[in-house]
Amino acid sequence: MLRCQPFPPSRGGGSLTETLAFDDLVQALHQQLAALPDDQKGKNTQYAIKDAALGAFAVFFTQSPSFLAYQRTMQQAKGRSNAESLFGMGDIPCDNQIRTLLDPVAPAQLFPVFAEVYDALEEAGHLSSWRVFADQLLIALDGTEYFASKEIHCAGCSQRSYANGQVTYFHQAITPVIVAPGRHEVISLEPEFSTPPDGHAKQDCEQVAAKRWMARQAGRYRSVTIWGDDLYCKQPFCELLLDHGYNFILVCKPDSHTTLYEWVAT
């Protein structure tokens, strides 16, 4: 589905269309970065933020922490780099520059990229091969911690206390993905971040964030079955899923659903 092409795209700068190529995805990211609010645009700040965001994307896309350092060396030696040809980067920022520039940018400002990619896949008919069981699109809901520390923390941290008095501070998010049997790839959908007002226990945070995601995305996707683990398998959560028009397949462990298992056994 994805193929690499030189940047910039050879065709006109329209929206994503039939053949969703890698450069189209990068182009969608470019367009969203150009749409960042004015208060974040300074003299050359906009270009710097763009390069920083593309740099961060490149590191995650290539799964190589040293990608940018290698590209800087290549640019100095050959006057051109893969960072430029593949990702359309101008200057290649260092890790600290990326952190400084991206810290003030709210992640939600990039969420439209997820929607654009999904819509492009749907319009081009790519999602039909992902649909199974009576035309259902399977969306796996799961939470992930993307930061944890016993020392470093901020006002937005969730925290977990232990009997020995230690506290772990963490940030987590729900990262829903479209999955299909037999496929190794997933299609990422926009995440939902957990914030402390959601609750205190990890599971409370994740559940509440998942509820928020479901409410926000209700009706967005056609014929969806939500997949989730045992922590979602609670009656109020199931009722909410049905209220929002989702089908669901949830893990139901015997030790957390004793009454249900007793009922099944009788």
Q: Which of 154, 162, 166, 265 binds Zn ion (CB under 5 A)?
A: 154
Residue range at the interface with Zn ion (CB under 5 A); choices 157-165, 218-226, 237-245, 258-266: 157-165
Positions in 12-31 near Zn ion (CB under 5 A): none
In whole angstroms, give the CA distance from residue 22 to residue 12.
15
Q: How many CB atoms lie within 10 A of CB 73?
A: 13
| Closer CB to Zn ion, 147 or 221, in the complex | 147
In whole angstroms, give the CA distance from residue 219 to residue 223.
9
Q: How far is the CB of 155 from Zn ion (least distance, A)?
A: 7
User: Does residue 265 interact with Zn ion by CB under 5 A?
Assistant: no
User: Does residue 148 interact with Zn ion by CB under 5 A?
Assistant: no
Q: Which of 74, 105, 148, 157 binds Zn ion (CB under 5 A)?
A: 157
Q: How far is the CB of 171 from Zn ion (least distance, A)?
A: 5
| Closer CB to Zn ion, 133 or 146, in the complex | 146
Residue range at the interface with Zn ion (CB under 5 A); choices 64-72, 89-97, 153-161, 232-240: 153-161
Residue range at the interface with Zn ion (CB under 5 A); choices 147-155, 175-183, 188-196, 238-246: 147-155
Amino acid at 80: R
Q: How far is the CB of 244 from Zn ion (least distance, A)?
A: 30
Residue range at the interface with Zn ion (CB under 5 A); choices 118-126, 133-141, 146-154, 195-203: 146-154
| Closer CB to Zn ion, 154 or 163, in the complex | 154
In whole angstroms, give the CA distance from residue 208 to residue 173.
11
Residue range at the interface with Zn ion (CB under 5 A); choices 13-21, 69-77, 81-89, 151-159: 151-159
Sheet holding 247-250, edge to edge: 187-188, 177-179, 137-140, 224-228, 247-250
In whole angstroms, give the CA distance from residue 89 to residue 56.
11
In the numeric block, which tokens belong to residue 146? 């993307």
| Closer CB to Zn ion, 156 or 245, in the complex | 156
| Closer CB to Zn ion, 32 or 175, in the complex | 175
| Closer CB to Zn ion, 114 or 147, in the complex | 147
| Closer CB to Zn ion, 30 or 171, in the complex | 171
User: Does residue 250 interact with Zn ion by CB under 5 A?
Assistant: no
Q: How far is the CB of 166 from Zn ion (least distance, A)?
A: 17
| Closer CB to Zn ion, 84 or 192, in the complex | 192
In whole angstroms, give the CA distance from residue 30 to residue 13.
11
Per CB under 5 A, residues contacting Zn ion are: 154, 156-157
